[in-house]
Amino acid sequence: MSLAALPAAFVTAAEGTEEVQGIDLIIPAPYDIFWSAVVLLIIAIAFYKYALPTFTRILDERTAKIEGGLEKAELAQAEAAAARDEYQAQLQEARTEAARIREEARGEGSQIVAEARTKASEEAARITETAHRQIEAERQQAAVQLKQDVGTLATELASKIVGEALEDEVRQSRVVDRFLDELAANTATTADAGKGN
């Protein structure tokens, strides 16, 4: 059954079928074409000139914005990575620096210890020297004291042995001196013999 026959079936069923024929459904009237063209033209102009370009622009802008946002995020990520690297480099540098300073400090410390040690040993040497000198001085003083004491002791002893013979001041002194010289000579030989040993 053709398409034209379809409306024809209704035509017979219809009550007022005066001049309307089934074929009229697919044969457009001139005014029908005219007004259809007019309304379509209005719609097409509104769509082509305004609505569609606007929406295209909005969509493109949105796409650009999203892409921009993604780019920005990537950039931020790269920046963060760079900052992290820099931070790590700085940290590494700081660690090296710290190690270097520690090393230096250790070196300085040991130098200070060495210096202190040298100074201490010098001081010790000096103290020893002083002590030696003092001992020498005391020994000499003791020797002088001993000489006097021995002299007195010997004179007393001799006077007791010799009696008054030595009462005379001059003689006494002479005898004592001679005795001491002999003693000194004896001591010197003994000391030389000791040193020679």
Partner 1 sequence: MPTTTRAAVHHDHQELALSSLAMIAPFATHEGESGGFHAPSITDFFPPPVLFEGTLFEINRIELVRFLVAIALVVVMVVAARRATLVPGRFQNVIELLLDFVRVNVAEEILGKDRARKYVPLLTTLFFAILAFNITGIIPGINIAGTALIGLPVVLALWVYVMYLGAGVKAHGVGGFLKASLFPPGVPAFMYVLLTPIEFLTVFVIRPATLAIRLMANMVAGHLMLVLCFSATQYFIFEAAPAMKAFGALTFTAGLAMTLFEAFVAALQAYIFVVLTAVYISLSVEEEH
Binding to partner 1 by residue 114, rule CB under 8 A? no
For residues 122-133, one letter each, b for 16 or more C-beta atoms within 10 angstroms of the residue's C-beta and e for the rest, the string is: eeeeeeeeeeee
Binding to partner 1 by residue 70, rule CB under 8 A? no
Spatial distance between the Cα atoms of 179 and 187, rounded to a whole number of angstroms: 12
Of these, 15, 164, 170, 197, which contacts partner 1 (CB under 8 A)?
15
x/- site string to partner 1, residues 163 to 182, per CB under 8 A?
Answer: --------------------
For residues 76-105, one letter each, b for 16 or more C-beta atoms within 10 angstroms of the residue's C-beta and e for the rest, the string is: eeeeeeeeeeeeeeeeeeeeeeeeeeeeee
Find out whether 34 and 51 touch, Cβ atoms under 8 Å: no
Return the number of the residue (51 or 116) whose C-beta is nearest partner 1: 51
Return the number of the residue (27 or 170) whose C-beta is nearest partner 1: 27
Q: In the bound complex, what is the minimum distance in angstroms from residue 81's beta carbon to partner 1?
A: 30
Stretch that binds partner 1, among 56-64, 91-99, 107-115, 177-185 (CB under 8 A): 56-64
Spatial distance between the Cα atoms of 181 and 187, rounded to a whole number of angstroms: 10
Quick one: CA dihedral 121, 125, 131, 134, positive or negative? negative
Q: In the bound complex, what is the minimum distance in angstroms from residue 71's beta carbon to partner 1?
A: 17
Q: In the bound complex, what is the minimum distance in angstroms from residue 14's beta carbon to partner 1?
A: 3
Which residues of the chain form contacts with partner 1 (CB under 8 A)?
1, 3, 5-17, 20, 22, 24-37, 39-40, 42-44, 46-48, 50-52, 54-55, 58-59, 61-62, 65
